[in-house]
Every structure is written in C-alpha cells, then in structure tokens.
C-alpha cells in the first residue's frame, strides 16, 4: 500500500476526504452513490453482495481486512461493488480459513478502495444529507471543480439488475428433494440458494427477464424473487412477470424482491433518508416478537399504499416504524426487506424459509 496520500473521495457538495488507495489502484474517476454500513463483521459478504453494485460502501467499523477472504463465504462470484471506504485497512489477516487478502480480491474484480479517512465524519454527513449523495474516487491531483464536473455529467445507472443477473439458467440439486423452487435472479446471493437446498429444495435460478410463460414451463412448486441492486421501479420486466404469476404459485420476495412484489400489486415505494445497511431490530405484527436482522436497502414500501392490494404489513422496523415485511396469506405471498439467510449475522429469521416451504406444501 502507498506511504503517502494519493487518492481522495469528493462528494457532490464539494467536501473532500483524502487518503490512501488499496484494491485496484488503476480505477480512478469512478462515480457512485456513497452509502454506509454499520456491521462489525461480514465485510466479505458485503463486498460480494450484488446489491452494492454502483455504490461506494463506507464501513463504520474502524478495522477492515483482519480475517481475509475465505472461499466458502462469497455471496456471489462476480463482485460488482463500486468501491470500499474504511478507516484502517489490515493486509495481514489472522484466520486459518482465509485464502486471499481483501485487497487481492478487490484487485481481481477491479474494485478501488480508500483508507485512512475519518469515516465517522463521513458517516455523519451521509446520515444528515440522505441516501442520494454521490461521490467520485479520484487522484489527489484532481481539482475540486473537475471532480464536481465529472459527478454532474455521469448519469445514474438504471440497468443494475440486468448487469448482475445470470445470463442463462442454472441449477442446484439435492438428494430426495421435496420441492422445486424457481429463483428469479435480480442479484441473488449464494446463501439464499444454499439455504433452500439445505431445506430439501431443488432450485432453478433464471435470469431477471425470464417471463411468466417460461417459468410455468419449469413447473415450479414456488417462486423466489431475489434481492438485488438499484431502484425496484427500474426492474419492470420482473414486476410484470410477478404480476402474471400472482396466485399461481407461492412466492417469496427478499430485499428488492419484496419491493417488486408490492409494485406488482399497485403499491408504491420511496427512498429512506439514509437507507438501512447493517443490523436492525424488526417486530413481527402477528405476535409482537422482535428479532435482529441484517439489512441492505435504500427503498421502502409505503405503508399507506398497501391498502386495497391484499398485502398487509408482517414486519416493521423498531427504530423508524418503516415496513420491513408483507404478506398475502390468501395468495401464499411473502416478502421481507431484510436478509433472512444472513451469514454471518443474525440467524433468527431462517424460519421464514420454513414458512415459504409450508406454503408450497399447502399449495400442493
């Protein structure tokens, strides 16, 4: 790593955060939305989560890289995060399972990094400004005026789901499978598929633009709409497919998939002030039970817009009362904003997969 400051983050309000580069140092002048994550562990899962496409992620935990990267723990094999910003980077991991350092993996996947800045100050700025602030990672020699000009002329991408989705269908199989699940890949995480397989399901993962007729031909017992990046209103193909499949099969939407379920029934979504990224408590409206969840979403379903859709609120955020889950029991449809398959992190919500499987049993 460099011994002198050589790269900086410039935000669209003109503020600058100079520091040291790590990861792919050849990537400069990249413009992304800047967000923060409050997780203390799990940077490998964060870096490999397709939902962070086109985002610079600021880690609020001060030391990152200390346990390296492990072959079994990737959420996706193609890493698409915009960049990683940390207080202190450790390039000498202590972990008997690690196979590569974080920087080695970031170099392989062309992800730039910035360390040595005051991440507390940056996080406060992002918290107060909101979730739409963009920034540029650029050379120390770039003038503020030039950096701001590059941010202004760089369009906000609207094709994130298309870029991260698989291009052809793929399968996982398990012995004595009880159900066949079709998963619509909007940026699916490996652990979603792994969890379904462990619970006795064969899984067919299909591209985001697979239509309802093609899914019908696969004869599924249930359909998963996966998590993924970007605004759900940009995933119109998926929304149309979900609308056509409604009532035919039990469906389970996760993250972006939950928002798409709601859009398919005429509900609306809006942007949270600074997003939910990290650990948050949620309350189940059925029994009042509070569980810990891992989250990564900017958009949220508008509660009032659910009226008349057949969907009702199943989970709500304890900290801000926002909608965190919905259900339509009559149509066997379930959706949550958080990650029930989270690893590492809270394991309180794996039972949601059991609930989805129970819906498939009832439907058959």
Q: 117 and 186 share a domain?
A: no
Q: 134 and 182 share a domain?
A: no
pLDDT of residue 132: 75
Whats the size of the chain, residue-wise?
Answer: 364
Domain endpoint, select from 101, 134, 157: 157
Query: Quick check: is 2 in a domain?
Result: no
Residue 2 CB neighbour total at 10 angstroms = 13
Q: 152 and 289 share a domain?
A: no
Q: In the chain, how many H helices and how many E strands?
A: 10, 19
Q: 172 and 267 share a domain?
A: yes
Q: 167 and 312 share a domain?
A: yes
Query: Quick check: is 251 in a domain?
Result: yes
- Determine phi and psi for 305, rounding to 5 degrees: -75, -10
d(CA 90, CA 124): 24
Provide the H-helix boundaries in 19-143: 43-47, 102-108, 119-129
- Of 334, 317, 225, the C-alpha closest to 277 is 317
Q: 79 and 165 share a domain?
A: no
Domain endpoint, select from 157, 172, 188: 157
Query: Quick check: is 76 in a domain?
Result: yes
Q: 40 and 91 share a domain?
A: yes
Q: 147 and 169 share a domain?
A: no
Contact 32, 9 (CB under 8 A): no
Query: For residue 212, what is the domain's CATH number?
Result: 3.40.50.880
Query: Quick check: is 1 in a domain?
Result: no
Q: 217 and 336 share a domain?
A: yes
Q: 358 and 285 share a domain?
A: yes
d(CA 355, CA 344): 21
pTM of the model: 0.95
Contact 112, 11 (CB under 8 A): no
Q: 168 and 299 share a domain?
A: yes
Query: Quick check: is 69 in a domain?
Result: yes
Q: 198 and 76 share a domain?
A: no
pLDDT of residue 345: 60
Boundaries of domain holding 331: 161-363
**Six-digit token pair at 228?**
């993924």
d(CA 122, CA 58): 8
Residue 83 CB contacts under 8 Å (≥ 6 apart), including other chains: 23, 27, 30, 32, 56, 57, 111, 112, 113, 114, 137
Query: For residue 31, what is the domain's CATH number?
Result: 3.50.30.20
Residue 194 CB contacts under 8 Å (≥ 6 apart), including other chains: 341
Residue 254 CB neighbour total at 10 angstroms = 28
pLDDT in tens, the chain (364 residues): 556 899 999 999 999 999 999 999 999 999 999 999 999 999 999 999 999 999 999 999 999 999 999 999 999 989 999 999 999 999 999 999 999 999 999 999 999 999 999 999 999 999 988 767 999 999 999 999 999 999 999 999 999 999 999 999 999 999 999 999 999 999 999 999 999 999 999 999 999 999 999 999 999 999 999 999 999 999 999 999 999 999 999 999 999 999 999 999 999 999 998 889 998 999 999 999 999 999 999 999 999 999 999 999 999 999 999 999 999 999 999 999 999 987 666 677 899 999 999 999 987 7
Domain endpoint, select from 129, 157, 185: 157
**Number of structural domains found in the chain:** 2
Query: Quick check: is 121 in a domain?
Result: yes
To which residue do tokens 């400069």 refer? 28
């Amino acid at each position: 790593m460099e011994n002198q400051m050589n790269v900086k983050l410039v935000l669209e309000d003109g503020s600058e955060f100079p520091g040291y580069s790590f990861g792919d140092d050849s990537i400069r002048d990249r413009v992304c939305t800047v967000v923060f994550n409050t997780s203390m562990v799990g940077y490998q899962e964060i870096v490999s989560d397709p939902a962070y496409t086109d985002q610079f992620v600021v880690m609020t935990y001060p030391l990152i890289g200390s346990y390296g990267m492990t072959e079994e723990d990737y959420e996706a094999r193609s890493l698409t995060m915009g960049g990683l910003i940390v207080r202190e980077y450790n390039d000498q991991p202590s972990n008997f399972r690690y196979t590569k350092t974080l920087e080695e993996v970031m170099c392989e996947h062309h992800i730039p990094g910035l360390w040595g800045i005051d991440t507390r100050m940056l996080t406060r700025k992002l918290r107060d400004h909101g979730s739409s602030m963009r920034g540029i990672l650029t050379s120390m020699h770039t003038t503020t005026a030039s950096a701001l000009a590059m941010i202004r002329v760089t369009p906000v991408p609207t094709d994130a789901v298309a870029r991260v989705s698989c291009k052809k269908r793929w399968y996982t199989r398990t012995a004595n499978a009880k159900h066949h699940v079709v998963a619509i890949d909007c940026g699916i995480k490996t652990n979603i598929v792994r969890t379904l397989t462990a619970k006795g399901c064969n899984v067919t993962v299909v591209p985001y633009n697979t239509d309802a007729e093609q899914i019908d031909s696969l004869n599924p017992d249930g359909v998963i709409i996966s998590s993924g990046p970007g605004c759900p209103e940009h995933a119109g193909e998926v929304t149309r497919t979900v609308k056509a499949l409604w009532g035919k099969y039990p469906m389970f939407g996760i993250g972006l998939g939950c928002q798409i379920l709601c859009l398919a029934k005429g509900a609306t979504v809006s942007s949270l002030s600074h997003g939910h990224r990290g650990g948050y408590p949620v309350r189940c409206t059925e029994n009042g039970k509070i569980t810990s969840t891992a989250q990564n979403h900017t958009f949220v379903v508008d509660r009032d817009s659910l009226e008349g859709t057949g969907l009702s609120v199943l989970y709500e955020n304890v900290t801000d009362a926002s909608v965190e889950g919905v259900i339509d029991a009559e149509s066997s449809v379930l959706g949550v904003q958080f990650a029930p398959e989270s690893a590492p992190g809270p394991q309180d919500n794996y039972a949601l997969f059991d609930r989805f499987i129970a819906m498939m049993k009832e439907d058959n």
